[in-house]
Amino acid sequence: MGKIAKIVIIACVLCITREAMSERRDYTKEEYALMEKYVYQLIDIFSVEMRNQYNCLSSGSGASMPHDIQKITVDFILYQPATIEKARELEIKATERFVEIINAHEGIRPYLRDYPWDHKRADVMISFRQENGDNYPDGIRLVLQAKDQVVYFGPSQDPSDIDPLKKESYEEAKALVLFSTSHLDPKKKWWQFWMF
């Protein structure tokens, strides 16, 4: 077996066993229940803010908590078309706000893998769909951040198509959002729907 193959095998084994080798904290059943309660409090707070501010509807959530809280995930659907610029801005603003919410919650801090929490452990995924659930024929259908990158997926005729349209580092995307004008549509207030 070649040297490169051996290195790849060793790297894979290390990645797989890394979580198993992480420090195990001995929490009681009550503490695990409290961890779960806090995680879902944070998800609820964040989901309400995203609905109120951007019209995003929560479509799923979860957390990775084998020993402590390693990752918190929230998925959203926005029934609007999106460009890369709009998807980028929404992903960065949502992720940064979710991190703020997590770090502000004093009760959850002892259970977090890392404090302060950062974007690498706060997963936000946003799908852009038509009202009937179909993908838009143009633009972005999905944006997410993973492995310190923001990844954009374009429209696809094949539901199993997982090839990204574009990838960029999280820091690059954050800088672009910081130094550009907003691409987000302001959410209409209830009374604006009655105006012509």
pLDDT tens per residue across span 110-121: 999 999 999 999
Classify residue 190: in a domain, yes or no.
no
pLDDT higher than threshold 90 for residue 17: no
Place of tokens 């038509």: 130
Contacts of 94 (CB under 8 A, 6+ apart): 50, 54, 56, 76, 124, 126
pLDDT tens digits, one per residue of 96-144:
999 999 999 999 999 999 999 999 999 999 999 999 988 888 889 999 9
- Indicate whether 55 belongs to any domain: yes
DSSP string, the chain: --HHHHHHHHHHHHHHHHTTTSPPP---HHHHHHHHHHHHHHHHHHHHHHHHHH--EEEEEEEE-SSSB-EEEEEEEESS---HHHHHHHHHHHHHHHHHHHHH-GGGGGGBSSSS--GGGEEEEEEEB-TTSPBPSSS-SEEEEETTEEEEE---SSTT----SEEEEHHHHHHHHHTS---PPPPPPGGGGG--
Domain that holds residue 34: 23-184
Residue 177 inside a domain? The answer is yes
What's the pLDDT at 158? 65
Place of tokens 């959410």: 187
pTM: 0.79
Q: Tell me, yes or no, whether 16 lies in a domain.
A: no
Contact 141, 159 (CB under 8 A): no
Residue 7 in any domain: the answer is no
Percent of the chain whose pLDDT exceeds 70: 78
What is the tens place of the pLDDT at every residue in 141-167? 999 998 899 999 988 766 666 778 899
What pLDDT is recorded for position 42? 96
Q: Is residue 8 part of a domain?
A: no
User: Per the domain annotation, does 130 fall within a domain?
Assistant: yes
Please tell me which residue, 113 or 185, carries the higher pLDDT value: 113
In whole numbers, what is the pLDDT of the chain averaged over residues? Answer: 82
Mean pLDDT of 25-46: 90
If one counts the domains in the chain, the total is 1
Residue 49: is its pLDDT beyond 70? yes
Asked whether the beta carbons of 120 and 70 are under 8 A apart, the reply is: no
- Name the residue type at position 121: R
Structure tokens at 63: 């957390």
Identify the pLDDT of residue 159: 61
Return the pLDDT at 23: 55
14, part of any domain = no
